[in-house]
Structure 1
Amino acid sequence: MVSVEPLEGEGFELRMLVKLRIQNPNDSPLDFNGVSVAMDVQGKRFATGVSDAGGSVPRFGEMVVAVPMSISAFRVAGHVMGIVGQIMGGGTSEYHGKLAYTMTGKLAGPAFYSRQFKSTGEFTLPAKIFQSDS
């Protein structure tokens, strides 16, 4: 994941543009004609998206692809409540501002040839969230 940018949402939906870096460690080009992505945060589905972006990643090369993703406002509320519960001591372990994510997806290829991918990591929430003004 290269970056995340906000997009204009609709109704009870939030939107973001996720830029993914696709790396090809092979000795031949990787051709694709569509991308689908699902992002889980703290083990729960958070956002999904698809794009008809296509191209060819050169041998031993890379490229960046943008995928618009949708997030239900109800999902966001559920995640926030879970995090707040952990901060207030409701979780099984102390919360340190880090959120684990897993991104899975598929690069659709020509003639039913697709490549699955998975990436995991964590990101840190800003320290300001946990500071009290009192």
Structure 2
Amino acid sequence: MRSVHAVLISLLLCLSACSSLPNRDPLKINVVGVEPLQGEGMEVRFAVRIRVQNPNDNVLTYSGVALDLDINGQPFASGVTDERGSIGRFSDVVVSVPVSVSAFSVIRQTYGISQMKTLNNMPYILRGKLSGGVFNTMRFVDSGTLNLPGPITGSR
């Protein structure tokens, strides 16, 4: 009977500790750029630059970033960085994450694009996390459309 009481008391202490954690608004993430990087073999690499906005009243410290990028509803690229930093209260920072694209993803996307009449308004979803330890890891999702230049037409 004592062990049951001990377990219940431990559970209540854990629940009260979780309820004392501060309420945080979710991070706001925007893709601000994609730049080519040197790849290896059949791999294509890019640096995805994201703006991370901290809409909270406390400084957010992070020690790594992970990203997954889907384009046209298909997995396209993923990447990680062990970059460390902090985002001040009610502040923002731009973080660059190198991502890799497999040859298979490039072929799949090329086929999907060939079925489209234009390269404008290609939907993307960016999922990721800023690692900040056990209680400070923040997950995020950003979505939108990519507007890529299409073929140039016109008279000479």
TM-score by length of 2: 0.74
Query: Tell me, what secondary structure is at the counterpart of 2:55?
Result: coil
The 5 Å alignment of 1:1-134 reads 1-87=31-117, 97-111=120-134, 113-128=136-151, 131=153
- State the aligned residue count: 125
Checking the alignment, whether the CA contact within 8 Å between 2:113 and 2:119 is kept in structure 1 is no
Q: Which has the larger radius of gyration?
A: 2
Checking the alignment, whether the CA contact within 8 Å between 1:12 and 1:74 is kept in structure 2 is no
SS in 2 for 1:75: helix
- For 1:71 and 1:96, the matched residues in 2 are separated by 19
In the superposition, relative to structure 1, how do residues 106 and 12 fare at CA in structure 2: closer, same or farther (>3 Å)? same
Mapped partners of 2:56, 2:135: distance in 1: 19
Q: Structure 1 residue 122: deviation in Å?
A: 0.4
Segments ≥4 residues shifted beyond 2 Å: 110-113
Q: Distance in 2 between matches of 1:52 and 1:78?
A: 29
Please tell me the residue identity of whatever aligns with 2:129: K
- SS of equivalent residue, structure 2 residue 38: strand
- The root-mean-square deviation of aligned C-alpha atoms, in Å, is 1.8
Letter in 1 for 2:133: P
Alpha-carbon distance, 1:123 to partner: 1.2
Per-residue displacement from partner, 1:81-131 (whole Å, max 9, x unpaired)?
1121233xxxxxxx56320000000000034531000000101121326x4
Partner of 1:91: none
Tell me the alpha carbon deviations over residues 9-47 of structure 1, each in whole angstroms, 9 at most, x when there is no partner.
111100011111110000001111000000000111000
* Cα distance in 1, alignment partners of residues 145 and 42 from structure 2: 26
User: Equivalents in 1 of 2:79, 2:47: separation in Å?
Assistant: 9
Aligned to 1:90: none
Distance 1:53 1:2 in 2: 18
Give the gaps of 5 or more residues in structure 2: 1-30
1 CA distance for matches of 2:46 and 2:34?
A: 6
